[in-house]
Amino acid sequence: MICPRCGAEIDGFPCPECGFPETLKRKTRRSLVLLALLAALLLLMAGCGSGEAEEPATEEATAEAAQTEAAGDNWYDSVLADAAVTKDYPYYRLLDIDQDGTDELFLSSTEKAFIGAEDKAKLMAFVNGEAATLKEIGGAGGESFSYDASDCSLFYFSRISGEEHIVKYALKDGALAELQTADEYDRNHDPQEGSNPDDTYYLDGKKVTEAEADVLWNQFDDLAQPVTYSKDGKGNPAADDDADEPEDD
Ligand SMILES: [Ca+2]
Protein backbone atom coordinates (compact mmCIF):
# COMPACT_ATOMS: atom_id res chain seq x y z
CA MET A 1 0.00 0.00 0.00
CA ILE A 2 1.00 3.63 -0.29
CA CYS A 3 1.40 5.93 2.69
CA PRO A 4 -1.15 8.70 2.12
CA ARG A 5 1.10 11.25 3.80
CA CYS A 6 4.56 10.68 2.36
CA GLY A 7 3.78 8.38 -0.58
CA ALA A 8 6.22 5.67 0.51
CA GLU A 9 5.49 2.04 -0.42
CA ILE A 10 4.68 0.40 2.92
CA ASP A 11 3.55 -2.95 4.28
CA GLY A 12 1.40 -1.51 7.05
CA PHE A 13 0.85 1.32 9.47
CA PRO A 14 2.47 3.17 11.09
CA CYS A 15 4.53 4.22 8.08
CA PRO A 16 8.25 3.47 8.75
CA GLU A 17 9.18 6.59 6.78
CA CYS A 18 7.04 9.29 8.35
CA GLY A 19 5.24 7.56 11.22
CA PHE A 20 1.74 8.17 9.81
CA PRO A 21 -0.89 7.96 11.28
CA GLU A 22 0.10 8.35 14.96
CA THR A 23 -0.71 12.06 15.12
CA LEU A 24 -3.98 11.61 13.28
CA LYS A 25 -5.22 8.62 15.23
CA ARG A 26 -7.80 10.34 17.38
CA LYS A 27 -9.25 12.40 14.59
CA THR A 28 -9.24 9.44 12.23
CA ARG A 29 -11.01 7.17 14.68
CA ARG A 30 -13.74 9.72 15.34
CA SER A 31 -14.06 10.33 11.62
CA LEU A 32 -14.34 6.61 10.98
CA VAL A 33 -17.19 6.33 13.47
CA LEU A 34 -18.89 9.25 11.74
CA LEU A 35 -18.23 7.68 8.36
CA ALA A 36 -19.67 4.37 9.52
CA LEU A 37 -22.78 6.12 10.83
CA LEU A 38 -23.08 8.10 7.62
CA ALA A 39 -22.64 4.98 5.52
CA ALA A 40 -25.30 3.15 7.53
CA LEU A 41 -27.64 6.11 7.15
CA LEU A 42 -27.01 6.32 3.43
CA LEU A 43 -27.63 2.59 3.05
CA LEU A 44 -30.95 3.02 4.86
CA MET A 45 -31.92 6.09 2.87
CA ALA A 46 -30.72 5.11 -0.55
CA GLY A 47 -30.73 1.34 -0.43
CA CYS A 48 -27.50 1.28 -2.38
CA GLY A 49 -25.77 -1.52 -0.50
CA SER A 50 -26.06 -5.21 -1.14
CA GLY A 51 -28.34 -5.58 1.86
CA GLU A 52 -25.92 -7.96 3.57
CA ALA A 53 -24.81 -7.27 7.11
CA GLU A 54 -21.55 -5.37 7.37
CA GLU A 55 -18.65 -7.48 8.56
CA PRO A 56 -16.88 -6.26 11.69
CA ALA A 57 -13.99 -4.01 10.72
CA THR A 58 -10.64 -5.79 10.80
CA GLU A 59 -7.46 -3.96 11.69
CA GLU A 60 -6.44 -4.08 8.05
CA ALA A 61 -9.79 -2.74 6.87
CA THR A 62 -9.59 0.05 9.43
CA ALA A 63 -6.12 1.04 8.23
CA GLU A 64 -7.33 0.86 4.64
CA ALA A 65 -10.32 3.05 5.47
CA ALA A 66 -8.02 5.55 7.18
CA GLN A 67 -5.82 5.57 4.10
CA THR A 68 -8.80 6.08 1.81
CA GLU A 69 -10.11 8.84 4.01
CA ALA A 70 -6.78 10.62 4.14
CA ALA A 71 -5.97 10.40 0.44
CA GLY A 72 -9.35 9.75 -1.16
CA ASP A 73 -11.13 13.04 -0.59
CA ASN A 74 -9.32 14.81 -3.39
CA TRP A 75 -7.65 11.96 -5.23
CA TYR A 76 -8.76 13.48 -8.54
CA ASP A 77 -6.78 16.69 -8.03
CA SER A 78 -3.62 15.11 -9.44
CA VAL A 79 -5.54 13.83 -12.48
CA LEU A 80 -7.06 17.26 -13.12
CA ALA A 81 -3.65 18.91 -12.68
CA ASP A 82 -2.20 16.83 -15.53
CA ALA A 83 -2.11 19.02 -18.66
CA ALA A 84 -1.98 15.94 -20.90
CA VAL A 85 -5.32 14.86 -19.43
CA THR A 86 -7.06 18.23 -19.52
CA LYS A 87 -5.92 18.81 -23.10
CA ASP A 88 -8.00 15.80 -24.17
CA TYR A 89 -10.68 16.24 -21.50
CA PRO A 90 -11.23 19.92 -20.65
CA TYR A 91 -14.53 19.22 -18.83
CA TYR A 92 -15.26 17.02 -15.86
CA ARG A 93 -17.93 15.92 -13.41
CA LEU A 94 -17.66 14.66 -9.87
CA LEU A 95 -20.30 12.18 -8.71
CA ASP A 96 -20.29 9.73 -5.84
CA ILE A 97 -21.89 6.85 -7.72
CA ASP A 98 -21.89 4.32 -4.88
CA GLN A 99 -22.41 7.01 -2.20
CA ASP A 100 -19.44 5.83 -0.15
CA GLY A 101 -18.18 9.37 0.48
CA THR A 102 -15.49 9.34 -2.22
CA ASP A 103 -16.34 11.01 -5.51
CA GLU A 104 -15.81 9.33 -8.85
CA LEU A 105 -14.46 11.41 -11.73
CA PHE A 106 -15.95 11.68 -15.20
CA LEU A 107 -13.73 13.36 -17.79
CA SER A 108 -15.08 14.61 -21.10
CA SER A 109 -14.08 16.47 -24.24
CA THR A 110 -17.50 18.20 -24.24
CA GLU A 111 -19.95 19.68 -21.76
CA LYS A 112 -22.74 17.73 -23.41
CA ALA A 113 -24.26 14.55 -22.03
CA PHE A 114 -24.42 13.05 -25.51
CA ILE A 115 -20.94 11.92 -26.57
CA GLY A 116 -21.00 11.93 -30.36
CA ALA A 117 -18.51 10.46 -32.80
CA GLU A 118 -16.13 13.42 -32.43
CA ASP A 119 -16.15 13.38 -28.63
CA LYS A 120 -15.02 11.11 -25.83
CA ALA A 121 -15.47 10.69 -22.11
CA LYS A 122 -14.20 8.38 -19.44
CA LEU A 123 -15.02 7.35 -15.92
CA MET A 124 -12.27 7.14 -13.32
CA ALA A 125 -12.38 6.08 -9.68
CA PHE A 126 -10.06 5.86 -6.68
CA VAL A 127 -9.27 2.15 -6.44
CA ASN A 128 -6.78 0.67 -3.95
CA GLY A 129 -5.21 4.06 -3.41
CA GLU A 130 -4.78 4.87 -7.08
CA ALA A 131 -6.68 6.57 -9.89
CA ALA A 132 -8.15 3.88 -12.15
CA THR A 133 -10.02 4.16 -15.45
CA LEU A 134 -13.24 2.14 -15.31
CA LYS A 135 -14.80 2.93 -18.68
CA GLU A 136 -14.03 4.97 -21.80
CA ILE A 137 -16.68 5.95 -24.34
CA GLY A 138 -16.87 7.91 -27.59
CA GLY A 139 -16.02 7.65 -31.24
CA ALA A 140 -19.18 5.73 -32.17
CA GLY A 141 -22.68 6.81 -33.21
CA GLY A 142 -23.48 8.34 -29.88
CA GLU A 143 -23.04 7.39 -26.25
CA SER A 144 -23.74 8.78 -22.81
CA PHE A 145 -23.56 8.16 -19.08
CA SER A 146 -26.61 8.66 -16.84
CA TYR A 147 -26.88 8.28 -13.11
CA ASP A 148 -29.82 7.23 -10.93
CA ALA A 149 -29.16 8.27 -7.33
CA SER A 150 -32.16 6.32 -6.03
CA ASP A 151 -30.39 3.00 -6.51
CA CYS A 152 -26.82 4.22 -7.16
CA SER A 153 -26.87 2.85 -10.69
CA LEU A 154 -24.92 4.10 -13.66
CA PHE A 155 -26.36 3.74 -17.15
CA TYR A 156 -24.25 3.55 -20.27
CA PHE A 157 -26.27 4.29 -23.41
CA SER A 158 -25.08 3.71 -26.98
CA ARG A 159 -26.70 3.99 -30.37
CA ILE A 160 -25.80 3.42 -33.97
CA SER A 161 -28.09 3.39 -36.97
CA GLY A 162 -31.19 1.31 -36.23
CA GLU A 163 -30.22 0.14 -32.75
CA GLU A 164 -29.99 1.39 -29.18
CA HIS A 165 -28.46 -0.24 -26.12
CA ILE A 166 -28.26 0.42 -22.42
CA VAL A 167 -26.17 -1.25 -19.77
CA LYS A 168 -27.01 -0.67 -16.12
CA TYR A 169 -24.05 -0.88 -13.76
CA ALA A 170 -23.34 -0.72 -10.06
CA LEU A 171 -19.97 0.42 -8.78
CA LYS A 172 -18.76 -2.50 -6.71
CA ASP A 173 -15.31 -3.29 -5.30
CA GLY A 174 -13.69 -0.62 -7.46
CA ALA A 175 -15.15 -1.86 -10.75
CA LEU A 176 -18.32 -1.55 -12.79
CA ALA A 177 -20.56 -4.57 -12.22
CA GLU A 178 -23.11 -5.16 -14.96
CA LEU A 179 -26.62 -5.42 -13.51
CA GLN A 180 -28.83 -5.49 -16.58
CA THR A 181 -28.74 -4.82 -20.32
CA ALA A 182 -31.40 -3.81 -22.83
CA ASP A 183 -31.06 -3.87 -26.61
CA GLU A 184 -33.54 -2.46 -29.08
CA TYR A 185 -33.46 -2.91 -32.85
CA ASP A 186 -35.50 -1.13 -35.47
CA ARG A 187 -37.08 -3.39 -38.07
CA ASN A 188 -34.56 -5.08 -40.34
CA HIS A 189 -31.66 -4.12 -38.06
CA ASP A 190 -31.70 -7.09 -35.68
CA PRO A 191 -28.58 -9.16 -36.45
CA GLN A 192 -30.23 -12.27 -34.99
CA GLU A 193 -33.41 -11.99 -37.04
CA GLY A 194 -32.24 -11.49 -40.61
CA SER A 195 -35.17 -9.40 -41.74
CA ASN A 196 -37.58 -8.53 -38.96
CA PRO A 197 -40.78 -6.69 -39.81
CA ASP A 198 -41.11 -5.19 -36.32
CA ASP A 199 -38.80 -3.58 -33.82
CA THR A 200 -37.26 -6.16 -31.47
CA TYR A 201 -36.35 -5.94 -27.79
CA TYR A 202 -33.95 -7.84 -25.54
CA LEU A 203 -33.24 -7.85 -21.81
CA ASP A 204 -29.96 -9.47 -20.76
CA GLY A 205 -29.74 -10.94 -24.27
CA LYS A 206 -33.15 -12.64 -24.06
CA LYS A 207 -35.90 -11.58 -26.44
CA VAL A 208 -38.78 -9.84 -24.65
CA THR A 209 -41.84 -7.76 -25.47
CA GLU A 210 -41.63 -4.00 -25.77
CA ALA A 211 -43.55 -3.64 -22.49
CA GLU A 212 -41.08 -5.88 -20.67
CA ALA A 213 -38.12 -3.98 -22.05
CA ASP A 214 -39.77 -0.67 -21.14
CA VAL A 215 -39.28 -1.27 -17.42
CA LEU A 216 -35.54 -0.74 -17.81
CA TRP A 217 -35.85 1.89 -20.56
CA ASN A 218 -38.24 3.90 -18.38
CA GLN A 219 -35.77 3.94 -15.51
CA PHE A 220 -33.13 5.15 -17.92
CA ASP A 221 -35.41 7.76 -19.52
CA ASP A 222 -37.29 9.03 -16.47
CA LEU A 223 -35.12 8.50 -13.40
CA ALA A 224 -31.51 8.49 -14.54
CA GLN A 225 -30.01 11.96 -14.91
CA PRO A 226 -27.72 12.43 -17.91
CA VAL A 227 -24.16 13.14 -16.80
CA THR A 228 -23.09 16.53 -18.15
CA TYR A 229 -19.68 18.09 -17.66
CA SER A 230 -18.23 21.51 -16.84
CA LYS A 231 -15.00 23.28 -15.97
CA ASP A 232 -15.89 23.22 -12.27
CA GLY A 233 -16.93 19.55 -12.06
CA LYS A 234 -20.56 20.29 -11.22
CA GLY A 235 -21.98 19.56 -14.66
CA ASN A 236 -24.06 21.76 -16.90
CA PRO A 237 -27.75 20.81 -17.03
CA ALA A 238 -28.22 23.21 -19.97
CA ALA A 239 -25.88 20.94 -21.93
CA ASP A 240 -28.24 17.98 -21.56
CA ASP A 241 -28.83 17.96 -25.28
CA ASP A 242 -31.33 15.11 -25.37
CA ALA A 243 -33.58 17.20 -27.66
CA ASP A 244 -30.75 17.47 -30.18
CA GLU A 245 -30.55 13.74 -30.69
CA PRO A 246 -31.86 12.45 -33.98
CA GLU A 247 -35.48 11.34 -33.71
CA ASP A 248 -36.33 7.66 -33.79
CA ASP A 249 -38.60 6.55 -36.55
CA1 LIG B 1 -17.80 6.66 -4.51
Segment 6-33, tens digit of pLDDT: 777 888 777 777 676 753 333 343 344 4
What pLDDT score does 186 carry? 96
Report how far ligand 1's centroid is from the alpha carbon of 60 (Å). 20
Confidence of residue 214 (pLDDT cuts 50, 70, 90): very high
Domain boundary among 72, 98, 114: 72
* 198 within a domain of the structure (yes/no): yes
* Cα 245 to the center of its chain, rounded Å: 23
Q: What is the DSSP letter of 239?
A: G
* 16 within a domain of the structure (yes/no): no
Q: Which residues surround ligand 1, an ion (CB under 5 A)?
A: 96, 98, 100, 102
Residues 57 and 70: their CA atoms lie apart, in Å, by 18
Segment 70-115, tens digit of pLDDT: 556 799 999 999 999 999 999 999 999 999 999 999 999 999 999 9
Report how far ligand 1's centroid is from the alpha carbon of 174 (Å). 9
| Residue 63 and residue 154 in one domain | no
Residues 238 and 26: their CA atoms lie apart, in Å, by 44
Report how far ligand 1's centroid is from the alpha carbon of 34 (Å). 16
| Residue 26 and residue 113 in one domain | no
Give φ, ψ of 66 to 5 degrees: -65, -40
Report how far ligand 1's centroid is from the alpha carbon of 20 (Å). 24
Q: Which of the pair, 241 or 107, is modelled with greater confidence?
A: 107
Report how far ligand 1's centroid is from the alpha carbon of 103 (Å). 5
| Residue 93 and residue 211 in one domain | yes
| Residue 99 and residue 144 in one domain | yes
* 102 within a domain of the structure (yes/no): yes
Report how far ligand 1's centroid is from the alpha carbon of 186 (Å). 37
| Residue 66 and residue 88 in one domain | no
Residues 99 and 171: their CA atoms lie apart, in Å, by 10
* 217 within a domain of the structure (yes/no): yes
Segment 118-170, tens digit of pLDDT: 999 999 999 999 999 999 999 889 999 999 999 999 999 999 999 999 999 99
Q: On the CB side of 240, how many CA atoms lie within 13 Å of its CA?
A: 12
Query: Which pTM value belongs to this model?
Result: 0.72
- The number of distinct structural domains making up the chain is 2
| Residue 53 and residue 109 in one domain | no
- Domain range for 50 is 22-72
* 17 within a domain of the structure (yes/no): no
| Residue 50 and residue 140 in one domain | no
